Amino acid sequence: MAKKIWGKVLVCGIIILFIGTSSIPSTETMTKQSEGSKHLLNERAPTISQPLSVLTTRLALQNQQRDIAFCYACNVVANPPYWFSSDDEYLAPCILPNFPSGSDIDSEGNLYAVDYGGGIYQIFYDGYQVFVAASIAFNSLTYDPESGLWYACDMTYLYTVNMTTGTSTVVGPLNVPNTIIGIACNLAGEMYGYDVLWTGDSTLYSIDKDTGACIAIGDMGYGFVYSQDCCFDRDNDILYIAGYFNDGSPAGLLICDTTSGQCMLVGNFEGGMEITGFAIPWSPNQYDHDIAIRSIIKPASGNAGPITPVVKVKNAGLNTEYNVPVQLLIGKELISGTVEDFEATNAGYTHAPKLPQPDAWAWGAPTSGPMAAHSGFNVWATNLAGPYPPSMWCYLLTAPFTVPGGAMFNFWHW
């Protein structure tokens, strides 16, 4: 048994991060095969043999204005594949029969995904997944906040999709020389997409939601191939690409300039994992003034003492803000004062029976019951070697100690 006095305060802040991975569907025979490869242009890349830690992937998003994303690693051989959730944990086994080729989140916060081979699934934030309806196979899926409609594409057409019934309606042909692999709508309802190809740079397109017509914006500075995805951080109007490169470079996360098409690499995904089913949560309502703390950068941990806090602040409002006051509850979990584990001494505890009852309290290493101390070897116990006697009535009294204001007294018992 041990006791300690410690002060405890909480560090308050909002740090959000989700990560996962996914891939894309082959729906028609429009793509070609590369020499010596059995994989189609929009199919998953050659697989990686081992499941991967999510840590490196998480770091690719961590320092951006948005700290959270859902996705799926479609080329990792895991049985079954998983959705990532935190540094060391997976959120849940993925129930989709192939892999999520696209996903997005609507204005109600509902996360939907489409399977590479067809089928609509809803994915809940606790990891629960449910089949919603059958559908054709799509390369990508996006929600349009402006109209409230869901859109999807295969290798030929743009569609609207009923997420309840799975019914898809052709909007029109995409009319691009290569295959559109990912589409995404920003908060204003502007749709963008990009293509995959075996060699050369991919192209970013603006897409007419009424006709499906694609207008080239510009080269992206990188060439992409195989399954992957894009999505908007709608709160910050940033288009992210989860890219798998056609020159053999490690796959990575990129930011794409929607005015020029040029991309900037944020970071590489661990082990060459291939990411799709990519979705970032967003706030459907925008207010004139909406400032929030996104994360606490400093202090993260450490000993108590004077420190200047550093926080990441996000402006989700419609106005430029100046001199915004930030209120933080800074705290610590600090062990201080007296810590006693009874290893060196019995800590001056006293004990006695209420006569004529027996006194069973003893100090030492237990040889029965839990057979161990919370730390070290020694405990105070009623009979170290077996059950305490019947009709026992005795007490154990600690040495005097003071618990200062704001502190807590804690002890362990079995």
Mean pLDDT over 310-332 rounds to 72
- In tens, the pLDDT along 173-215 reads 999 999 999 999 999 899 999 999 999 999 999 999 999 999 9
Which tokens go with 56? 């490196």
Specify the DSSP element, H or E, that contains 61.
helix 55-62
pLDDT in the model for residue 298 = 77
Q: Kindly tell me the burial class for residue 408, based on how many C-beta atoms sit within 10 Å of its own C-beta (0-12, 13-18, 19 or more).
A: exposed
206 within 8 A of 192, measured Cβ to Cβ: yes
* Share of residues in the chain with pLDDT > 90 (%): 36
Whether the predicted pLDDT of 9 surpasses 90: no
pLDDT in the model for residue 290 = 75
pLDDT in the model for residue 136 = 95
For residues 73 and 381, which has the higher predicted lDDT (pLDDT)? 381
pLDDT in the model for residue 55 = 36
pLDDT in the model for residue 6 = 30
Least confident stretch, 38-42, 311-315, 327-331: 38-42
1 closest CA partner among 389, 386, 332, 372: 372
- In tens, the pLDDT along 15-71 reads 222 233 333 233 332 333 333 333 465 665 555 434 444 433 443 443 344 456 777
Whether the predicted pLDDT of 1 surpasses 80: no
110 closest CA partner among 70, 137, 66: 70
Cβ partners under 8 Å of residue 156, min gap 6: 27, 28, 30, 173, 174
Please state, in angstroms and rounded to a whole number, the distance separating the CA atoms of residues 221 and 264: 9
Options 2.60.40.10, 3.40.50.1820, 3.20.20.70, 2.120.10.30; CATH for 55-279 is 2.120.10.30
Please state, in angstroms and rounded to a whole number, the distance separating the CA atoms of residues 113 and 72: 10
Mean pLDDT over 144-153 rounds to 95
Please state, in angstroms and rounded to a whole number, the distance separating the CA atoms of residues 368 and 386: 5
Question: Sorting pLDDT into bands at 50, 70 and 90, what band is 287?
Answer: confident
For residues 323 and 162, which has the higher predicted lDDT (pLDDT)? 162
**Side chain identity, residue 212:** G
Q: Kindly tell me the burial class for residue 208, based on how many C-beta atoms sit within 10 Å of its own C-beta (0-12, 13-18, 19 or more).
A: middle
Whether the predicted pLDDT of 285 surpasses 90: no
Ranges of each domain in the chain: 55-279, 343-411
pLDDT in the model for residue 135 = 96
Q: What is the dihedral of CA 99, 257, 204, 20, to 10 degrees?
A: 0
For residues 60 and 140, which has the higher predicted lDDT (pLDDT)? 140
Mean pLDDT over 152-158 rounds to 95
For residues 21 and 256, which has the higher predicted lDDT (pLDDT)? 256
Mean pLDDT over 302-310 rounds to 72
Please state, in angstroms and rounded to a whole number, the distance separating the CA atoms of residues 241 and 258: 11
Please state, in angstroms and rounded to a whole number, the distance separating the CA atoms of residues 112 and 127: 12
pLDDT in the model for residue 302 = 66
Long-range contacts of 376-384 (CB under 8 A, 24+ apart): 376/2, 376/341, 376/342, 376/343, 377/343, 378/341, 378/342, 378/343, 379/1, 379/342, 380/1, 380/342, 380/346, 380/349, 381/1
List, edge to edge, every strand of the sheet that includes 333-340: 333-340, 3-8, 407-411
pLDDT in the model for residue 224 = 96
- In tens, the pLDDT along 355-369 reads 888 888 888 888 877
Mean pLDDT over 221-233 rounds to 94
Beta bridge partners of 296: 311
DSSP code for 236: T
